[in-house]
Amino acid sequence: MSGTSLWREAAVVAGKDLRIEARARVALGQILPFGLIVILLFAFALDPDRGVLTRVAPGLFWIAVLLATLLAVGRAFAIETHHNARDGLRMAGLDGGAIFLGKAAAIALQLAVLEVVLGVAVIVMYGVDVHGLGVVLITATAATVGLAATGTLYGVLAAGLRLRETLLPLLLLPVIAPVMLGATRAFEDGLGGVPGDAWPWVGMLGVFAVLYTTIGVMAFGALWEET
Amino acid sequence: MERDELLAPIVRRIVGVLTIVSLVALVLFGLWGAPTDEVQGDAQRVMYLHVPSAWLAYLAFFITASASALFLWRRTRADVWDRVAGASAELGVMFTGLALVLGSIWGRPVWGFWWAWDARLVSTALLFFLFLGYCALRRIPSSDPVGAAKRNAIAALIAFVDVPIVHFSVEWWRTLHQKATVFNPQLNPEIHGVMALTLWIGTIAFTLLYVYLLDRRYRLAVLEHGRADVELAHAIAERTGVKAGVT
């Protein structure tokens, strides 16, 4: 398969998923509010008056994003279960790698929107100052690609299985733990610390994203056909 | 290649006997043979179980990943690799859990606390959950055994790829932010000759135990597979009234 048609097919799949989202508004109407209420609940758990929230804001932000990722991945494969959509997509003759890239891109885009809204909420509600906006944006991009790639990979792995709703978090969370760690540390440096200190973490997030995107392009076809 | 047994009966018997002998030797050396540690006292004796457990955890997951790769490679694809991968992962989770619990029991008297956010501890805990998830995935029954085995093999490799990333990120995290770790050099004095010997006995005993349990778990997987066939044959016989040939 030539490179251009891979990207074109990926764009078709991403467009399909985003069109379904635009019509059903599950991410916007359910996952996004879920993320916001998580942000709100953290303030109940941690005393908002003592500056604890401001200090741990990066970690809380990424926990909320991680939880929302689980829902977004579940949703991305739930839309394939109705009306034999999965078989339709299989018979469309698309390359497995292209389906992976398309679905991952759609998840990444939805996560990006979610992160912007949650980010604004954290800045406003937790009283966070942004010192290095560039570092924050690059960190978020690398982490989002990594989350979307691993999420799509485990999404297809668990898709079609009984118990997938309970299995997916157990499979996915330990694997994306390094993303949580790296993104939180980089955000700490980018928000309140020395932005320059974030680069090793951004590098780690980049390696993670490239690695799992590559594995996804290679393995998705086999998983998509088998399960 | 289809194997009902992993080890030949004679090999299994020898491994079993050697396992018992070396475990008895470990108990004798660990409790009485090795001298009491000057700094840590008798608590240090937990190390004779903890270190071999940790070693076995890594070995077991390495075998799971290797067997999964062999299953995915068409030329070597065989049920034996799928079953070895699953059996080894279960043992790996058991030994990882054992290493964590034993480390905690050792840490309480020596460090003064049950748990520390030490790099090795955190990455071992993550390793435990990584493969616990893999074992949970394997337990889900499937109508398509080959597809499920392929899926499981890919899952094992994806999890295994994460091990170095987890290791290095956690290492960075703990070393960038706290310089002196609980593993300060004073707690690791020169190892006495008999102590080193005891550690070796422990490692050999646990490795033999692993091989023996791997063989038994493999056999159990074969029997589980056979039971499914037998149940299917019975179900067909009940419906049709014809005695199906059970092989």
pLDDT of residue B237: 86
In a domain, B45, yes or no: yes
| Segment A130-167, tens digit of pLDDT | 888 999 999 999 999 999 999 999 999 888 787 888 89
Say if B136 is an interface residue toward chain A (CB within 8 Å). yes
Provide the pLDDT for residue B65: 96
Cα–Cα dist B90/B160, whole Å? 14
Whether A178 sits inside 8 A of B137 (CB atoms) is: no
**Are B52 and B202 contacting, i.e. CB atoms less than 8 angstroms apart?**
yes
- For tokens 């050099």, the residue is B185
Q: Write down the pLDDT at residue B146.
A: 86
Interface touch A170/B129, C-beta < 8 Å: yes
List Cα–Cα distances, A60 to A122, A124, B141, B237, in angstroms.
9, 14, 37, 59
Compute φ and ψ for B184, nearest 5 degrees.
-80, 155
Q: What is the domain count for chain B?
A: 1
What CATH number has the domain bearing residue B80?
1.20.120
Residue A66 CA, distance from chain mean position: 7
Task: Provide the chain A residues 135-164 that lie in CB contact (below 8 A) with chain B.
Answer: 153-154, 157-158, 161-163
DSSP string, B125-151: HHHHHHHHHHHHHHHS--S-HHHHHHH
**Residue pointed to by tokens 């037998």:** B230
| Cα(B55)–Cα(B74) distance, integer angstroms | 31
| Domain span at A36 | 3-226
> Could you say which residues from 137 to 176 on chain B have a Cβ atom under 8 Å away from some Cβ of chain A?
137, 140-142, 144, 146-148, 150-151, 154-155, 158-159, 161-162, 165-166, 168-170, 172-173, 176
| Contacts of B178 by beta carbon, 8 Å cutoff, 6+ apart | none
Structure tokens at B59: 């070995």
Within 8 A by CB and 6+ apart from A26, the residues are: A75
Our CA-based measurement puts residue B161 at a distance from the nearest CA of chain A, in whole angstroms, of 9
Query: Does residue B246 fall inside a structural domain?
Result: no
Chain B positions touching A177 (Cβ under 8 A) are 126, 166
pLDDT at B176 over 70: no
Say whether residue A63 is in contact with chain B using an 8 A CB cutoff: no
Q: What distance separates the 2 farthest-apart alpha carbons in chain A?
A: 58
The 3-state DSSP class for residue B246 equals coil
What mean pLDDT do residues B14-36 have?
92
Chain A residues with beta carbon closer than 8 angstroms to that of B96: none
Tell whether A200 is within 8 A of chain B (Cβ): yes
ipTM score for this prediction: 0.88
Assess if residue B8 is contained within a domain.
Answer: no
Q: Give how many domains chain A has, as a whole number.
A: 1
Torsion, Cα of B6, B9, B14, B17 (10° steps): 100
Chain A residues closer than 8 Å to B169 by CB: 178, 181-182, 204
| B178-210 tens-digit pLDDT | 444 444 455 554 567 888 899 999 999 999 999
Angle at B201 between CA B200 and CA B206, to 5 degrees: 100
pLDDT in tens, B90-135: 999 999 999 999 999 998 888 888 888 888 888 899 999 999 999 9
- Which segments in chain A show pLDDT lower than 50? none
Most confidently modeled range among A124-133, B1-10, B233-242: A124-133
C-alpha distances in angstroms, B107 versus B23, B56, B242? 24, 20, 64
What is residue B178's predicted lDDT score, i.e. its pLDDT? 47
Task: Point out the residue among B129, B134, B161 whose CB comes nearest to the CB of A211.
Answer: B161
pLDDT for res A164: 83
Q: Could you say which of B126, B144, B147 has the minimum Cβ distance to residue A177?
A: B126
Q: What residues of chain A lie within 8 A of the CB of B172, using their CB? A: 200-201, 204
Cα–Cα distance, A10 to A104 (Å, whole number):
9
User: By the 8 A CB rule, do A126 and A57 touch?
Assistant: yes
Q: What is the pLDDT of residue A4?
A: 78
Q: Which residue range is the domain that position B136 belongs to?
A: 14-179+194-240
Read off the amino acid at residue B204.
I
The pair of structure tokens assigned to A156 is: 């297809």
DSSP B41: B
Locate A42 and state its tokens.
Answer: 């953290």
Q: pLDDT class for B243, splitting at 50, 70, 90? A: low
pLDDT at A108: 96
> According to the model, what pLDDT value does residue B190 have?
55
Whether the per-residue pLDDT at B143 is higher than 60: the answer is yes
- Whether the per-residue pLDDT at B245 is higher than 80: the answer is no
